[in-house]
């Protein structure tokens, strides 16, 4: 809060900047007024200079609790830097520790995001901001996917909207730690915009990594579940990206500190992904929080995955069905079973060097499980019964009926699919 006739002047990493929040070293109002006049003249010309001077004097006289000077006209003094392409760095009221939770996919990220979202206010009281961007994205969001997607597609307008909201929430809370979480961070090919956006702040990336064959199984399930694309496991194998070394190197170069963890329940803090994340990100952990059983976004599998695969061939299902299928998987263990992977395919995947990088960056020897004896995909013996159970869900049934596909198609095509015809 700004005190009467005073404005903060703070120094971060050798760059002098005038702040607005009445913290750290303080200077008389005359110093603040000089900064305001100079910035207003530099960015707005003589007329804007006069208006800003008047606004500053009036606000000081009234002893207002909010900033006395429009921060847009103090950009030079609070360290806001603009790039030639119109993008800018974040103008927070202090230097922050920025924790980026970057995934990877299917490593308990949804559980972490729901924990952070449900404890947003408690975290804020402890100096940790987990921004609420749900309103801007048009639906309730526990993560920051839309913000990252805007960066990926180069949508500067959308990115600016999200950025302004993050800045607003940080300025109101004055938190010293900012946490952003999205698995989509791992898909950013060019990190220069993100790097410049948070220049001047301490970036810390935390990432969980699965053993390669388990990751392939989960990645395939997520690909079919989240998209309306048709690809059998063998086709997907050809597009499966195993270049872990390049991924790790890029994040080491980008951030000031990176923490890579082997995703193995036996090696996590208390066997819990949320506690492990909080421990390594140095965040408060509130043990009373209880998450709904199915909210961890488990991978769909078994005949449920086969059902979604066939639906994809006819146009796919709606986003509502995505959540409905996830709920079914959470309630039925057989709908979470991973696809079988032939021994030869497992050996080929494990020869690519991925697990070697995993061991090097995490210090853990990956556990090599045999996936060849998993339940057949699809499981013809229970397929008819499982399809009926799936279609008992009203949301899935509604979307399925719009495809104009007969349920008997699943059983007719199952045998030829299993043979790879």
Count Cα neighbours of 244 within 13 Å in the Cβ-side half-sphere: 27
Q: Is 44 inside a domain boundary?
A: yes
Residues 39, 61: Cα–Cα separation, whole Å:
21
Most confident range (mean pLDDT) of 46-55, 266-275, 287-296 is 266-275
- Rounded-to-integer distance, Cα 350 and Cα 345, Å: 9
Beta strands in 68-127 (DSSP E): 97-101
Show which of 292, 311, 335 is a domain's final residue: 292
Q: Are residues 147 and 18 in the same domain?
A: no
Residues 25 and 151 in one domain: no
Question: Is 411 a domain residue?
Answer: no
Tokens of 190: 């060019």
Does the residue 239 lie in any domain? yes
Question: For the domain that residue 246 is a member of, what is the CATH number?
Answer: 3.40.50
152 vs 418, more confident: 152
Domain end marker among 255, 270, 292: 292
With 0-12 / 13-18 / 19 or more C-beta atoms within 10 angstroms meaning exposed / middle / buried, residue 14 is: exposed
**Domain, as residue range, for 55:** 6-74
pLDDT, residue 25, reads 34
52 and 125: one domain?
no
Per the domain annotation, does 365 fall within a domain? Answer: no
Q: In this predicted model, what pLDDT tens digit does every residue of 100-135 receive, in sequence order?
A: 999 898 899 989 999 999 999 999 999 999 999 875
**Look-up of token digits 């769909």:** 300
Query: Could you tell me if 252 and 159 lie in one domain?
Result: yes
The single residue listed with the structure tokens 């800045």 is: 167
Q: Select, from the ranges 4-13, 53-62, 359-368, the one with the highest average predicted confidence (pLDDT).
A: 359-368
Same domain, residue pair 67 and 106: no
Residue 15 lies in a domain: yes
The 3-state DSSP composition of the chain as helix, strand, coil percent (nearest 5) reads 55, 10, 35
The pLDDT value given to residue 35: 53
pLDDT of residue 70: 39
Domain co-membership, 107 together with 223: yes
Overall domain count for the chain: 2
Beta strands in 246-386 (DSSP E): 257-262
Looking at the DSSP bridge assignments, the partners of residue 203 are: 98
Same domain, 12 and 145: no
Burial (CB count within 10 angstroms: exposed 0-12, middle 13-18, buried 19+), residue 215: buried
Q: What is the pLDDT of residue 38?
A: 53
Same domain, 69 and 110: no
Q: Are residues 70 and 101 in the same domain?
A: no
Residue 85 lies in a domain: no
Residue 353 has pLDDT above 90, yes or no: yes
Of the candidates 292, 315, 347, which is a domain's last residue?
292
157 & 281 share domain: yes
The Cα-based distances of 62 to 5, 58, 234 in angstroms read 10, 6, 71
- pLDDT tens digits along 276-328: 999 999 999 998 655 544 345 678 999 999 999 999 999 999 989 998 999 99
Residues 145 and 286 reside in one and the same domain: yes
Do 224 and 185 lie in one domain? The reply is yes
Q: What is the mean predicted confidence (pLDDT) over 242-246? A: 92
* Residue 421 pLDDT: 55
pLDDT tens digits, one per residue of 356-400? 999 999 999 999 999 999 999 999 999 999 999 999 999 999 999
Residue 307 lies in a domain: no
Indicate whether 122 belongs to any domain: yes
Residue 200 scores a pLDDT above 80: yes
Is the entire prediction scored with pTM above 0.85?
Answer: no
Question: Residue 216 half-sphere exposure, CB side, CA atoms within 13 Å?
Answer: 29
């Amino acid at each position: 809060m700004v005190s009467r006739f005073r404005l903060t002047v703070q120094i971060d990493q050798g760059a002098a900047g005038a702040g607005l929040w009445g913290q750290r070293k303080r200077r008389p109002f005359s110093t603040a007024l000089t900064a305001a006049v100079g910035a207003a003249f530099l960015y707005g010309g003589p007329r804007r200079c006069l208006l800003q001077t008047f606004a500053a004097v009036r606000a000081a006289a009234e002893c207002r609790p909010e900033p006395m000077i429009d921060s847009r006209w103090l950009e030079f003094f609070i360290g806001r830097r603009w790039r030639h392409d119109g993008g800018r760095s974040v103008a927070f009221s202090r230097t922050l520790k920025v924790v980026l939770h970057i995934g990877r996919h299917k490593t308990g990220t949804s559980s972490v995001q729901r924990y952070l979202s449900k404890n947003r206010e408690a975290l804020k009281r402890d100096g940790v901001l987990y921004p609420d961007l749900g309103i801007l994205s048009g639906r309730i969001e526990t993560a920051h996917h839309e913000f990252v997607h805007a960066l990926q597609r180069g949508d500067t307008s959308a990115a600016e909207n999200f950025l302004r909201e993050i800045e607003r929430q940080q300025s109101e809370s004055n938190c010293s730690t900012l946490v952003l979480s999205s698995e989509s961070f791992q898909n950013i090919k060019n990190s220069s915009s993100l790097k410049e956006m948070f220049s001047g702040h301490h970036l810390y990336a935390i990432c969980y990594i699965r053993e390669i064959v388990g990751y392939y199984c989960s990645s395939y399930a997520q690909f079919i579940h989240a998209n309306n694309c048709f690809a059998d496991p063998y086709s997907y194998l050809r597009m499966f990206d195993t270049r872990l070394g390049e991924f790790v190197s890029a994040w080491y170069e980008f951030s000031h500190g990176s923490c890579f963890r082997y995703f193995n329940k036996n090696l996590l803090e208390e066997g819990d992904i949320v506690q492990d994340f909080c421990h390594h990100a140095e965040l408060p952990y509130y043990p009373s929080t209880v998450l709904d059983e199915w909210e961890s976004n488990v991978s769909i599998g078994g005949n449920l995955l086969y059902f979604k695969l066939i639906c994809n061939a006819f146009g796919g299902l709606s986003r509502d069905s995505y959540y409905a299928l996830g709920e079914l998987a959470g309630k039925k263990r057989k709908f979470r079973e991973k696809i079988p992977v032939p021994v030869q395919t497992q050996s080929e995947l494990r020869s690519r060097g991925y697990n070697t990088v995993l061991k090097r960056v995490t210090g853990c020897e990956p556990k090599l499980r045999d996936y060849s004896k998993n339940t057949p995909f699809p499981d013809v013996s229970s397929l008819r019964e499982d399809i009926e159970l799936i279609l008992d869900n009203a949301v899935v049934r509604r979307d399925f009926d719009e495809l104009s596909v007969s349920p008997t198609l699943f059983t007719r095509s199952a045998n030829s699919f299993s043979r790879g015809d």
